[in-house]
Structure 1
Amino acid sequence: MNAGDPQAASLRKDAERNRRRIIEAARELCATRGLEATLNEVAHHAKLGVGTVYRRFPTKEALFEAIFLDGIDQLVALAETALEAEDSWEGFSWFVWSMCELTATDRGLREVAFSKAYCGGRVDAGRTLLDPVISKLVKRAKRDGYLRPEVSSTDMPLLGLMAGTVGEYSDGVSKELWRRYVGLLLQGMRCQPGLERLPVDALTHDELQDAMSTWQVTPD
């Protein structure tokens, strides 16, 4: 069977389709349960054989990496869409809302995105893709006088983590409570006359990486 064989092309398409089904099933499970789901459970949720899952992802760590990269691709796409907004504040705030909705409602993504415990160097690679486009959003909103000068691109992951913490804390009482606090955060980030400087500087990029290296997910 050669590369130009229609049957080979069909098999490649089937393999990629199964890969997407596995990643989507894993993200659905991990969104509510975190990173506790087993590969067997993912296979059942994807309605695929266990062997199919293990051929694509021989370990949970390999699947976590795929979830992380899928989530990073999603965040990059959101940030690039936000940059297309004519009004820089509307683009910035839309991205913050979209990012926080992801992190507030997807526990698995939150756990792999904010800790190096699972994906190691992949986290660095993901940040390399995401940070430049987020930096553009921040700089553009500052340039136009909308965003207070102390705000940094390194604040964005922590905003997502805060939204996720509120979402997890209040899940059984108010699933939408995180929206209240994201709204408060955005109001606090607006540049307004007479604002006192924030009492603590944002983390540097190196400090953010150090924080990711030490933060550990607490199992249920």
Structure 2
Amino acid sequence: MDPSAADHDAERPLRADAARNRTLILDTARRVFADRGIGATLNDVAREAGVGVGTVYRRFADKEALLAALRADKFTALRALAAAALRVDDPREALRGYLHEVIALRVRDRLINEVVAASPHDHEALRAERERLSEDVERVIARARDVGAVREGFAARDVPVLTLMVGALADRSASVDPEAWRRYASLLVDAVCPTEEPMPMPGGPFGEHQLPLVMHPRP
């Protein structure tokens, strides 16, 4: 056998293992960062993936490199929500549906706000992705504005603040009432883009013994 062919064959399992490890690390990182947010570490990812932290570092030089690999998925998901809203015939319902969906996405994934919030350290490619997303969302808002369905002055850059507000509540109240955030998401969406006829708020306020647990969660 040609020695070079033998060497080539010997390398194949290593490359396949490397590819599997990279996929495993990315899949695990999606779950870990979605659950714990930006504070998660590469050690956390390695532990959850069942690999040594050195394996993670061989695939990703540092935490920022791993986050960069995850951001593409986040932008794809966010732009898909905006695209779906643009296909809804009623501009009011399109914007309301988009806001509810993007808030729900943040509740499921704590990393979302880190993607959409600008940072002075952003790379040019990341700024471009964020600008494309902002343009998509502005189109959704503009349609609602044209029919008088949205409060004057509301802009795409207000959306991350809404998701941050409800997301923070969802994080604090998850162990008390994991669905409580929906009540306050409804309140905010109604304030931005009210229904044509007043509607009752979903759910109810926190109970007497629940509220202290939400306001003063244990570490």
TM (norm. structure 2) is 0.71
Change (3 A) 1:108 1:190: closer
Conserved in 2, the CA contact under 8 Å of 1:82 and 1:137? yes
Change (3 A) 1:139 1:20: farther
Is 2:186 aligned against 1:183? yes
Conserved in 1, the CA contact under 8 Å of 2:29 and 2:45? yes
Conserved in 2, the CA contact under 8 Å of 1:104 and 1:166? no
- Match of 1:116, SS state, is coil
Where does 1:56-205 land on structure 2 (aligned, <5 Å)? Answer: 56-114=59-117, 116=119, 120-121=122-123, 123-190=126-193
Conserved in 2, the CA contact under 8 Å of 1:145 and 1:191? no
Shift of 1:83: 0.8
Mapped partners of 2:159, 2:17: distance in 1: 37
Conserved in 1, the CA contact under 8 Å of 2:137 and 2:156? yes
Shift of 1:55: 3.2
Conserved in 1, the CA contact under 8 Å of 2:96 and 2:193? no
Conserved in 2, the CA contact under 8 Å of 1:85 and 1:91? yes
Conserved in 2, the CA contact under 8 Å of 1:82 and 1:95? yes
Letter in 2 for 1:186: V
Question: Equivalent pairs: percent with the same residue?
Answer: 38
Change (3 A) 1:63 1:187: same
Partner of 1:5: none
What's the CA shift string for 1:99-123, capped at 9, x where partnerless? 1012123223334543627x62365
TM (norm. structure 1) is 0.71
Shift of 1:54: 2.6
What's the CA shift string for 1:137-189, capped at 9, x where partnerless? 00011112221222222211111111111112212211222211110112112
- Match of 2:75, SS state, is helix
> Which ranges of structure 1 fall in alignment gaps of 5 or more residues?
2-7, 194-219
Partner of 1:27: 30
What's the CA shift string for 1:63-118, capped at 9, x where partnerless? 1222233212210111111111111122211111111012123223334543627x
> Which ranges of structure 2 fall in alignment gaps of 5 or more residues?
5-10, 197-218
Change (3 A) 1:112 1:86: closer
Mapped partners of 2:73, 2:45: distance in 1: 16
Change (3 A) 1:179 1:17: farther
Partner of 2:211: none
Letter in 2 for 1:175: P
Letter in 2 for 1:120: D
